[in-house]
Amino acid sequence: MPIHTCTTAQGTPAVATKAELAAEITRIHSEINHVPPGYVNVVFTEPPRDSVYVGGEPGAPLLITGWARRGHPQEETTRLAPELSAAASRVTGIPEPRVLVVIQDSPARSAVEGGRVLPDPGHEKEWMSRQERWRRGLRRGRHRGPLAVQGYTRGPVTRFPRRS
């Protein structure tokens, strides 16, 4: 559900550091927003060093942009950015003044995962239960109609033939 993109100049964090940072981001987001760890996505992008600037000068910041569903309690949302910033600095060794964390939110209905609109905060259990039943039905060939499901189809919409 949540997506966190970590951007640094090429070669800044080592692969092991990326794995550790992804684990920390997942842990923090899961604890604060009560989301199962398996639903937290962390992506790393590394533009060339000559493509990263701060204040018009070449720089080496760590930029973390995150997306979460709107509706989490404000005190939880407010805690998320500083905790991610501190963890990112601790894990990567990049001084915290060079770490920028921005958490954006939008309504859950603005996002789709696994072919289904995301649930509002607090309704994850029902959604995951429906999601699992839907996936089991899909594996058994019981789903009918158009699909545009990440991991199950490639390209645009695929239609399965109806059974007689």
Return the HEC string of 102-144: EEEEECHHHCEECCEECCCCCCHHHHHHHHHHHHHHHHCCCCC
The pLDDT mean for the chain works out to: 83
33/78 same-domain check: yes
pTM of the model: 0.74
155 assigned to some structural domain? yes
Cα–Cα dist 8/54, whole Å: 12
28/80 same-domain check: yes
Mean pLDDT over 21-42 rounds to 93
101/27 same-domain check: yes
Minimum mean pLDDT among 35-44, 55-64, 136-145: which range? 136-145
86/148 same-domain check: no
20/87 same-domain check: yes
Q: Which domain holds residue 66?
A: 3-106
65 assigned to some structural domain? yes
pLDDT band at 144; cut points 50, 70, 90: low
pLDDT band at 56; cut points 50, 70, 90: very high
CATH number at residue 102: 3.30.429.10
Say how many domains are in the chain.
2
- Over 60: is that where the pLDDT of 156 sits? no
43/85 same-domain check: yes
Query: Percent of the chain, pLDDT > 90?
Result: 46
18/99 same-domain check: yes
131 assigned to some structural domain? yes
